[in-house]
Amino acid sequence: MTESALHPLVHLGVTISSLCSRDKYSTDPAVHTAAVDEIRRTAGVHTDIRDHEVGVWVGYYGDDYTKTRAAALVDAFPGCVHHIALGVQRRGAGGHGTFETSMPAGVG
């Protein structure tokens, strides 16, 4: 395993967010139960980080295609609801990229 340049708690947050996304389109409740269990095990005592990452994920990715996953996450981690608004805000912020990709036509 390679060593991460990220702080261990930042790495944990990224890992939890990626676990939220794995199989997010599945309609099989067993898949979502397994994801919840893995998130719970991965987060361990860091419930604050878990709830933040899950809430932001639900706010950003929660839509008709991922509603089964989002509902499973909110049911399992009710503390995440305090962070959903941040995810919604980030989703509404629009695309972002490097300066070169956002320059007006004719500049540069």
Residue 106 lies in a domain: no
User: What is the widest separation between alpha-carbon atoms in the chain?
Assistant: 53
Place of tokens 């261990």: 8
Residue 86 lies in a domain: yes
Q: Please tell me which residue, 103 or 31, carries the higher pLDDT value.
A: 31
Q: What is the pLDDT of residue 104?
A: 63
Overall number of domains in the chain: 1
Residue 16's CB is within 10 A of a number of other CB atoms, namely: 23
Domain boundaries, position 58: 8-93
Residue 40 lies in a domain: yes
Question: What is the pTM assigned to this prediction?
Answer: 0.84
